[in-house]
Amino acid sequence: MHRLITELPFAITVVTVYKSASKMIGAYEFRAVALKEKAIGFENLGDSTVSTRAKTLFDCIYLERYSIERDKLIEAYRMARFGAEELKEFDSCEVL
């Protein structure tokens, strides 16, 4: 949704407050990962509620096993060109 990667992933991970689960639909895997109080940093984007760019990138680093390959993650971070507010938000996402 934030165009941080160029390819369509076959595994979609969403962060939730309550419980973790996984479901396969065709070739796609949908995973919900419970982060409890770390499930913060959301915005409305069209008809969807999604994590902000800064929180998305933080979650990809924090939940590395659910993320894209490390070199693609580094490239996504480099290309994101965060503004001052996004950098402040990224820095405020701490591991609790």
* pLDDT tens digits along 33-91: 887 776 677 888 888 778 888 888 887 777 777 677 788 878 887 888 888 888 888 87
Q: Where are the alpha helices (DSSP H) in 1-96?
A: 53-62, 70-80, 84-92
The number of folded domains in the chain is: 1
Per-residue pLDDT at 73: 79
Residue at 30 is within a domain: yes
Residue at 15 is within a domain: yes
Per-residue pLDDT at 8: 63
Confidence of residue 96 (pLDDT cuts 50, 70, 90): very low
Residue at 5 is within a domain: no
Question: CA angle 70-71-77, nearest 5°?
Answer: 90
Residue span of the structural domain in which 59 resides: 11-92
Residue at 41 is within a domain: yes
Residue at 1 is within a domain: no
Highest mean pLDDT among 1-10, 24-33, 58-67, 87-96: 24-33
Per-residue pLDDT at 95: 55
Query: 44-49 — which CB contacts under 8 Å span 24+ positions?
Result: 45/1, 48/1
Is 19 in contact with 34 (CB distance < 8 Å)?
yes
Residue at 4 is within a domain: no
Q: Which residues contact 28 (CB under 8 A, 6 or more apart)?
A: 10, 11, 12
- Residue whose entry in the numeric block shows the structure tokens 């001052």: 84
Residue at 46 is within a domain: yes
Dihedral (C-alpha) 33, 35, 38, 43: value to the nearest 10 degrees? 40
